[in-house]
Chain A
Amino acid sequence: MSTTRALVILLVSLSFTCVIPVVFTGYNEVCSSEAGSEQSTEFRNKVDTSKLSGIEYLIADMYNNDRVLYAVVVTLVMATLGTGMAFLTDLVLKALGLEVSRISHKE
């Protein structure tokens, strides 16, 4: 790819990106004094489970009562989903003809 083409893509994407925060949060929110860390939620050590149900309740309850179990679940779930998604994406890429094999390491 020529450098010019790469620069054009870079510029177009950069200009497009400026629109994204405005679309999702609104210009006033992005540029107001509320933006950033000040807008963020307070850090809470306990989750209010009274309005939750199903899986949300289970996870929040675990978070409140057994933090080590919560950490184990988070780590295992992330590893499992990471592996599963990688496997699925690999299949899709293979179907698109983007299969990889051992490559030569020439610069």
Chain B
Amino acid sequence: MHIFDIYLPVAGIEFSVVLLVAIGFCVGTLGGFFGVGGGWIVTPALNIFGFHMAFAIGTDLSNIFGQSIGAVRKHQKMGNIDWKMGLISIITSVIGLEIGSDVIISLEKAGDVGVIVRWCYMFMLTSLGCYMLYDYFVLRSQQLKNTDSSDPGAADGKSGRRGAANTRRLHRVKIPPLISFPASGIEDVSLWTILLIFLLTGFLSGFMGVGGGFMIMPALVYLIGLPTTVAIGTSLITVLFSAAYGCFTYAVKGRVEIFAALIMLIGASIGAQIGATAVRYIKGYGIRLLFAVMIILAALSVGTEQFYKITGKHFFQSLAGIVLMGTAISMSAIIMVKLVSESTKEKRSRKAKIAQTSDNESRHV
């Protein structure tokens, strides 16, 4: 396998090109499909395979920046981006992020907060994942009861999710100024509600030291009430801008391995396009189901890492990395299989329609 190794002069190590492209491809697919950055996969993966942590974070952010450009472009084509919401999200999330990181810094003075952060992270991922799974299964059972409905979305009437109740509650708050988001189909919602939600997601990102894409997307869906596809596109805007900023600042500090980032970007760009295209073929509730499974598996990986911290056995650290990469590869595989099967179905039905039309015409003649 060493024939695929390349010397990375900035990091001063040899690394497999195939591995870089593969990691990039997986994270790109997930990024384009779920509207997340995927730093929680790339950073530990690079670190496990020999990158210094400082280089792993910077290189990862550079890759996320590059891959997000293509994904944003694709989602823009599909009308999945609410720029107004995205802009508010960027500004408010940054403030929340600063508050969150300040809290962490002050807590660090009191002692080691790493354990608390990891437990919070695990709790967040698990609870969010379980809520989304619960939401999905309730909709499925409602669909089964409602024989007239062929779409689980119809079970909830308008939005196709139980979280719509939360949305309605939050939309009832009418503290001025009220703001509308025509691109998302949201009318007259209090600006304060939106600011508070993004402040919270930003705070949690800063507190847990993560990008935040995995929190912004569900928050947009379950709290603000955006359709899942629009939430994905809008979340990507925040990811794009924060990654661009991260790429530059980490590079100034000398913590970006440009050659590794470029090689990874080749796989990531292809993956991001495939992931974003797959959004067209999978319904909102399906995307949310896959997202829920993915974050629960990510929580499992963090939990395994926690075992390593407690027992000191490196087996658990390796296992955590394997679970994480396994999750990324599995999810990418599911997304690709779904894309291929659904697009083939669509092509077949289109052909059948054309054949039927020409048949009718010939009979008419």
Contacts and interface: CB of A to CB of B under 8 A. Distances in A.
Contact of B325 (A21, A40, A83, A90): A21
B191 interface: no
Interface in B105-154: 151, 153
Nearest to B278: A98
Contacts of A33: 314
A93 to B, nearest CB: 6
B176 interface: no
Nearest to B70: A86
Interface residues of B, number: 92
Contacts of A67: 251-254
A17 interface: yes
A59 B261 CA distance: 13
Contacts of A16: 329
Contacts of B327: 14
Contacts of B318: 21, 30-31, 35-36
B47 A71 contact: no
B103 interface: no
* B interface, over-half SS: helix
Contact of A41 (B52, B161, B252): B52
**Which of B16, B185, B326 has the most C-beta atoms of chain A within 10 angstroms of its own C-beta?**
B326
Nearest to A86: B70
A107 B10 contact: no
B326 A68 contact: no
A42 B251 contact: no
A85 B73 contact: no
Contacts of B19: 24
A43 B265 contact: no
Nearest to B253: A67
B362 interface: no
Interface string A24-57: 1100001111011101111111011100100010
A33 B19 CA distance: 22
A6 to B, nearest CB: 6
B252 A56 contact: no
Contact of B269 (A39, A40, A81, A105): A81
Interface in B34-90: 47-55, 62-63, 65-71, 73-74, 77-80
Contact of A74 (B68, B151, B247, B284): B247
Contacts of A24: 1, 16, 18-19, 49
Interface stretch (B92-100, B192-200, B207-215, B224-232): B224-232
A1 B253 CA distance: 46
A40 B326 contact: no
Given A32-B314, A67-B252, A37 B325 contact: no
Contacts of B244: 75, 79
B321 A36 contact: yes
A70 B77 CA distance: 33
Interface of B: 1, 7, 9-13, 16, 18-19, 22, 47-55, 62-63, 65-71, 73-74, 77-80, 151, 153, 159-161, 185, 227-230, 244, 247-249, 251-256, 258-259, 261-262, 265-266, 269-270, 272-274, 276-277, 280, 283-285, 293, 314-315, 317-318, 321-322, 325-327, 329-330, 333-334, 337-339, 341, 343, 347
15 contacts: A13-B330, A14-B327, A31-B314, A31-B315, A36-B317, A37-B47, A49-B9, A67-B251, A74-B258, A74-B261, A78-B65, A78-B262, A85-B270, A100-B277, A106-B160
Given A13-B326, A105-B79, 20 more contacts: A1-B341, A9-B330, A13-B333, A17-B322, A45-B254, A60-B10, A67-B253, A70-B251, A75-B248, A81-B266, A82-B66, A83-B70, A85-B270, A86-B70, A89-B70, A89-B269, A93-B273, A103-B79, A106-B283, A107-B284
